[in-house]
Amino acid sequence: MKKIFFLVALLAIVFTGRVLAQNSQTQSLLTSYYDIKNALINADATVAASKATEFSRALGSMDMKSMPEADMNIFIGLQDKLAFDAKHISESKDIAHQREYFATFSANLFKLAKAVKLTKAPVYYTYCPLKKSYWLSDNAGIKNPYFGKQMLTCGAVKETIK
């Protein structure tokens, strides 16, 4: 009986460690994404490019073995798409070009966020009707990365991932 209890406790510790490792990795992806979004809000193409490079590094260093198989499969299915958009954002100093790729980048990250718990905090999925595109945010306040100061509060939260 003691052996069974010990084995169950050991498995719980291993599982908890894997979940914490995954949450830390996915949180770093989300933080880098938010940094890109904030740079686009401020129309700072240099910072957006730098933060996209950070996102690419975090994406490339993900430990797939720490993820449950279902999460890993979803992640692998979106990894190339996320890397493609992040690369385009990182290689450009043209804010319009960065914002163009940010739209598909956001759509793909949303798919990942819907399927895999990226963070303990809520993620707000926000829509810009003029751009007909979405973005993710860590708060419900509207700060539009597609138009920045020109139309800072244009948009609405369409969904909250808890």
Tokens 């419900």, located at residue? 140
DSSP single-letter state for residue 145: T
Q: Rounded to two decimals, what is the model's pTM?
A: 0.84
Task: Write the class of the CATH domain 2-118.
Answer: mainly alpha
- Model confidence pLDDT, tens digit, residues 44-71: 999 999 999 999 999 999 988 888 999 9
Instruction: Give strand pairing partners of 157.
Output: 126
Distance CA 94, CA 48 (A): 10
Low-confidence residues in the chain, pLDDT < 70: 1-23
